[in-house]
Amino acid sequence: MDNNMTFQDLGLSARALNAINKKGFEEPTSIQAMTIPVMLRDDTNIIAQAQTGTGKTAAFGLPLIEMIHTESKAVQALILVPTRELAIQVSEEINSLKGDKGLIIVPIYGGQSIDQQLRRLKKGVHIVVGTPGRVIDHLKRKTLKLDGIEHLILDEADEMLNMGFIEDMEEIMKHTNPEKRTLLFSATMPGRIKSLAKKYMDGYELLQVKKETLTSNLTEQIYFEVKASDKFEALCRIVDIEDDFYGLVFCRTKSDVDSVAAHLIDRGYDAEAIHGDISQVQRERTLDKFRKQRINLLIATDVAARGIDVSNLTHVINYSLPQDPESYVHRIGRTGRAGKEGTAITFITPSEYNRLMVIQRFAKTDIKKSQVPKVKDIIKAKKRKIYDDLNTLLENEIDTTYFNWAKNLLEEKSPTEMLAALLNYCFEEEVNPDTYGEIKEIGSKGRQLDQQGKARLFVALGKKDKMNPSKLIDLIMSRVSVNPKQIRDIMVMDNFSFINVPFEKAEEIVVSFKQKGGKPLITHARKK
């Protein structure tokens, strides 16, 4: 990908660019830069090989939004995905990118009321995002017609293959318009995927994202798991515990960059911001100050940080997770240059752990968990630095004016009292623990539960049933003895909800909500 490629270069409309800008994205990922222009040409099928987490949904979603004709009520695009969670995610992402275009996008998947899906399909839908099993259900009922679709997207095709959906995929493809364009996304290219493409795609253009790996082994990579509201406090602690912090802080959006920089300046740090809305003159002025270390904190977006050639950074901090794994590689490659060791720190919220693991696999690296510095350790480090600085002063010749001043001061007070008063006068704010806010630890037990003992449950109740997280917890506790803190990651949608609970409680909850002669109210959120 051209390092200077922008969304404006891809042939997107002003409406699409406005929607992208509102989401805060400044540059396309590699797969977006490759896919969008080819899709917009609308003259070939595409096979795109790219990992999860590289911005695939926008890569096909943005061109689809451009090419759909809203005056027609017929289904013009089908997006096949392996799981209900992905169906919801893809549908929501495309909705967030459509701007004011009157597109109707509907997810259909097993576990959701088919009657509700029938009603929505009957009203007219432009884009259907569905799991293979439920799409076939609708084809058999003749409630979904695909003979007029212009675009078929197979997302995570290798995952659908692994889950045994190959026959379903082939069956669905038989029902589609032979003149359509097909886009197949797959992280890997097993033989059956290639044979599927050969059979059902009359020629295609192959797009492959080159996997980037870290070239520097001089960078220590760690991550802190904190609540979003605690990120700023964590950043301040990291800066303060270092003797000579000199680093780049990356945020995803321009507004985040402005906010973080303003808060740092308010708190007395030497920080400035750069992003796409800052003039070239101001950018050069800021970079010059940063290179000369007149400021030691530069807050930036990925695009704005391009061309910053500074070889002695001590830290790169991912205040926000990057849009895609490639950006992570680019960001942290800025430390550990010129033979000096650097540290790359990434902040994640608990829900972002899986995305971090995608980045770790993509970059073929090891990102270790660490703890945010404690206030007492920061104060200790500051006192040690003050002591070292005073010792350095004592090694140099001190002007006699200060000796005379000191003698006068010591005529009335003891040396210890006077030194204590001076330290208090000079460093009261710097070594005061009350200047730091509290950071609530997200314990390792929680993460262990996430990895080893968590079950995802599907609840057939949502906002339309006047459900909210609190009511959902109360409902479950009315039938099962469970600690409310163990019901986590609650997602309440219009017609259904998802929750995470410990494995040992999951089966008890599912059984207790079985309804005689009807569909179960709570089930395991298995992949469909």
How far is residue 64's CA from residue 472's CA, in Å, rounded to a whole number?
A: 36
Contacts of 42 (CB under 8 A, 6+ apart): 67, 181
| Domain at 219-372, CATH homologous superfamily | P-loop containing nucleotide triphosphate hydrolases (3.40.50.300)
Rounded to the nearest angstrom, the gap between the alpha carbon of residue 138 and the centroid of all alpha carbons in its chain is 34
Q: Binning pLDDT at 50, 70 and 90, where does residue 450 land?
A: very low
Quote the pLDDT of residue 146. Answer: 94
Angle at the Cα of 256 from the Cα atoms of 252 and 262, rounded to 5 degrees: 140
What are the boundaries of each domain within the chain? 7-208, 219-372, 376-435, 444-524
3-state secondary structure of 458: strand
Q: Is the pLDDT of residue 246 over 50?
A: yes
Class for domain 444-524, per CATH? Answer: alpha beta
Which residue type is seen at 220? E
Best CA proximity match to 238, nearest among 259, 255, 224: 224
Residue 4 has pLDDT above 90, yes or no: no
Question: Over 50: is that where the pLDDT of 38 sits?
Answer: yes
More confident of the two residues 349 and 444: 349
* Predicted local confidence at residue 444, as pLDDT: 46
- Alpha carbon dihedral 52, 58, 60, 63, in 10-degree steps, equals -170
Lowest mean pLDDT, pick from 117-121, 219-223, 350-354: 350-354
pLDDT on residue 478: 85
For residue 254, pLDDT beyond 90: no
- Please report the pLDDT score of residue 453 as a whole number: 57
Q: Which residue's structure tokens are 């200047």? A: 435
Is residue 139 within 8 Å of 128, Cβ to Cβ?
Answer: no
- For the ranges 240-249, 402-411, 421-430, 515-524, the lowest mean pLDDT is seen at 515-524
Contact 167, 200 (CB under 8 A): no
Determine the topology of domain 7-208 in CATH. Rossmann fold (3.40.50)
pLDDT tens readout for residues 165-216: 888 998 999 999 989 999 999 888 888 888 888 888 888 999 987 765 554 4
Mention every residue, 6+ apart, whose C-beta is less than 8 A from residue 36.
10, 11, 12, 28, 59, 62, 63
Mean pLDDT of the chain: 85
> What is the three-class DSSP state of 192?
helix
Asked if 16 and 98 count as a contact pair (C-beta separation under 8 A), the reply is no
- CA-nearest of 92, 114, 458 to 106 is 92
Domains 219-372 and 444-524 share a fold: no
Q: pLDDT tens-digit profile of 58-101? A: 999 999 999 999 999 899 999 999 888 888 889 998 998 998 89
- Classify strands 497-502 and 454-459 as parallel, antiparallel or unpaired: antiparallel
Question: Is a pLDDT exceeding 50 seen at residue 158?
Answer: yes
Question: At 190, is the secondary structure helix, strand, or coil?
Answer: coil
Average pLDDT value for residue range 298-308: 81
Banded pLDDT at 340 (limits 50, 70, 90): low
No. of helices (H) and no. of strands (E), the chain: 20, 18
